[in-house]
């Protein structure tokens, strides 16, 4: 981990309250496939879902999440917006993607993984909250200065396409057998595995929001998931936390500009 990444982690812990009483943290939410077509096993035509990633109920659909806090940013690239990055949407692996190009370590196959050729996306289906308020999804892979998706309550999508990829199409892939070296890039996807950080959600007005998401296969192999609802509530941080949030936002903007330079 670089010094900048460590600094981001420390600031993030400070800004997001290090204590469970201040912020509901969902962590990773995993997209996969569940058996819905009446034929045993997973095939084309089965439906996507957000699934449990480990434990006795691995592969089963998960319930809706606890309410996420969106915290007012006092300065930096998100100044004046209520910001949260508590959820990392991920697609589980079918075992063909390489997770670390330096060590040739492969992700083990997940029992609910989508098959080769699928391209999993999350769609913002609807947003409820204060009239005229906006929900924005920010994708670091695209831009940290312009949101990838903006949904205005009462109007609908006002920018973007309402969809973002879970699969990183530049991810190296290989056979996954006995550490075989990667064979190329994941485009078209051999493994729909996705795990991209640096994504944020913002709201421009205080209040309580509900956002309905679905998992969608852009290549049409699997049916859409059932709706998945996440609640968000806006909060104004304590002064010390506000300083940490401002520093984190400013550092994120600096990193983005440095990458584009």
> Do 148 and 142 form a contact (C-beta atoms < 8 A)?
yes
- pLDDT, tens digit (0-9, with 9 covering 90-100), for 128-153: 999 999 999 998 767 778 899 999 99
pLDDT score recorded for residue 76 = 87
pTM of this prediction? 0.77
Reported as a single tens digit per residue, the pLDDT across 9-63 is 333 433 433 322 223 346 899 999 999 998 999 999 999 999 999 889 999 999 7
pLDDT of residue 91: 92
192-201, 223-232, 245-254: range with lowest mean pLDDT? 245-254
Domain that residue 205 falls in: 3-260
Number of structural domains the chain divides into: 1
Determine the angle formed by the axes of helices 3-15 and 239-260, rounding to 10 degrees. Answer: 150
Q: Are 157 and 228 in contact (CB under 8 A)?
A: no
- Compute the average pLDDT of residues 85-112: 80
Summarised one tens digit per residue, pLDDT across range 186-195 is 777 888 888 8
């Amino acid at each position: 981990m670089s010094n900048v990444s460590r600094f981001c982690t420390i600031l993030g812990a400070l800004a997001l309250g290090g204590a469970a009483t201040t912020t509901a943290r969902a962590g990773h939410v995993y997209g996969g496939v569940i058996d819905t077509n009446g034929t045993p096993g997973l095939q084309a035509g089965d439906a996507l879902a957000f699934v449990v990633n480990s434990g006795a109920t691995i592969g089963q659909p998960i319930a809706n999440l606890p309410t996420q806090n969106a915290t007012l940013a006092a300065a930096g690239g998100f100044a004046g917006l209520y910001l949260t990055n508590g959820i990392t949407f991920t697609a589980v692996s079918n075992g063909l993607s390489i997770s670390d190009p330096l060590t040739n370590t492969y992700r083990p196959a997940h029992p609910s993984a989508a098959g080769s050729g699928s391209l999993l996306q999350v769609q913002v289906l609807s947003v409820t909250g204060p009239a005229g308020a906006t929900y924005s999804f920010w994708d670091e892979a695209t831009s940290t200065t312009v949101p990838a998706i903006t949904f205005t309550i009462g109007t609908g999508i006002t920018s973007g396409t309402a969809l973002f990829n879970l699969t990183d199409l530049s991810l190296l892939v290989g056979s996954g057998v006995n550490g075989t070296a990667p064979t190329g890039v994941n485009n078209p996807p051999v493994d729909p595995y996705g795990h991209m950080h640096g994504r944020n959600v913002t709201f421009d007005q205080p209040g309580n929001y509900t956002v309905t998401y679905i998992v969608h296969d852009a290549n049409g192999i699997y049916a859409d998931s059932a709706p998945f609802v996440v609640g968000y509530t806006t909060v104004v941080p304590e002064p010390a936390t506000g300083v940490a949030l401002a520093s984190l936002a400013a550092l994120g903007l600096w990193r983005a500009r440095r990458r584009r330079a």
